[in-house]
A = this chain, B = another copy of it.
Amino acid sequence: MTDVPRRQPTLDEVAERAGVSRSAASRALNNAPHVSAEKRAAVQRAIRELDYVPNTTARSLATRQRGAVALVISGEAPSIFADPFFAKVIVGASAALEEADLHLMLCLAASDRSRRRLAELLRARGVDGAMLMAVRENDPVLQIARESEVPVVFGGRPPGFEAPWYVDVDNAGGARQAVEHLLARGRRRVGMICGLPDTEASRARHRGYREAVILAGLQPLPPEYGDFTEPSGTAALAALLTRHPDMDGVFAANDNMAAGALRALRGAGRTVPGDVAVVGFDDLDIAQIAEPPLTTVHQPIHALGNEMARMLVGLVAGAEPNSLILPTHLVTRSST
């Protein structure tokens, strides 16, 4: 490994061995037209014999295409990225990129330095396009996206910015379903645990909650805020319970916090779903593992990543795709 720097064969060498011109070899390589069957075969044999692999860098320089796109995750990576959410997005995106023969550059844009590198990556055409995830209000990466000459697809709409292309999940609709389900189960005092308020997902879920409650002719309770972690859910539920001791239902903006809420309810001696019914959001593993297993809003995370990548692939190829909002649906388990 790494020793013998015996140069890789070049296309000229392939051409020479096959007894054709470099142009013909290139055409055969990319199986373009205007090459006779014999020459094509000769080139293919030479390629095999020399174990030739085209140099992508040279190709990129000539074609002005990089063969790679970036997946950018904004915000404090250590905390945010630990969420299995992103792993699933990546898997979904990878699948679509693989089909288009594009590589995936992963960029964690948390520090100023990493953001500067990202900006250069885009400006220097180090990638053919980018997918942006977890962009928050007034996020500095928005500026980079705005100035990008390379197409950019957003995963989730960033608050306060009209993204030209995005794939989102029906957060409001899912939240509304969740709360309607709670109400249908006869709950009348339903509280909410929100996530970080500078994300659109968080806001949309709160909006869905309010709509459902108001449509039922009830009064929304002021929400408690967490940071999407389990302990913050525990704390939020405790606060909620202090304010509204008669609360009989809770909708949490994600499963982690819902699990935290479950813990707090157990600590407070309330039964679930007997005294208080709980619904989460995400449908991650933790929802099934929790005690009791959580009713939650399933969101198609894999599809989110997949569709973002497809959209970007289309954009790179010059298409004009439409933004997408993917449906969510409720998964009923024993917490309600």
**Which residues of A are in contact with B by a Cβ distance under 8 Å?**
1-2, 4-5, 8, 53-58, 60-61, 66-68, 71, 77-78, 81-84, 86-88, 90-91, 94, 98, 101, 103-108, 111, 113-114, 117, 120-121, 123-126, 145-146, 148-152, 164, 230, 259, 263, 285-286, 289, 291, 302, 315
Cβ-closest chain B residue relative to A291: B291
Whether the pair B164, A124 counts as a contact (CB closer than 8 A) is no
- Bound complex: CA A124 to CA B145 (Å): 30
Contacts A1-B148, A57-B60, A98-B113 given: A106-B125 contact, CB under 8 Å? no
Question: How many copies of this chain are found per oligomer?
Answer: 2
Q: Which chain B residue shows the least CB distance to A88?
A: B82
- B103–A103 touching, CB < 8 Å: no
Q: Say yes or no: A152 contacts B8, CB within 8 Å.
A: no
Residue of B nearest to A113 (CB): B98
**CA of A278 to CA of B264, assembled, Å:** 24
Q: Are B90 and A81 in contact (CB under 8 A)?
A: yes
> Given A2-B149, A87-B82, A57–B61 Cβ distance below 8 Å?
yes
- Cβ contact of A103, chosen from B53, B101, B113, B121, cutoff 8 A: B121
**A92 nearest CB neighbor, chain B only:** B78
A151 → B minimal CB distance (Å):
5
Query: Is A5 a contact partner of B149 (Cβ separation < 8 A)?
Result: yes
CB pair B149–A4 under 8 Å, yes or no, is yes
Contacts of A120 in B (CB 8 A): 53
Say how far A311's CB is from chain B's closest CB, in angstroms: 13
Q: How far apart sit A164 and B81, CA to CA, in the bound complex (Å)? A: 31
Chosen A-B contacts, 21 in total, with CB atoms closer than 8 Å, are A1-B145, A1-B148, A1-B149, A1-B150, A1-B152, A55-B61, A55-B125, A56-B121, A56-B126, A57-B124, A78-B91, A81-B87, A82-B84, A82-B87, A82-B91, A91-B108, A103-B126, A104-B105, A104-B106, A104-B107, A105-B105
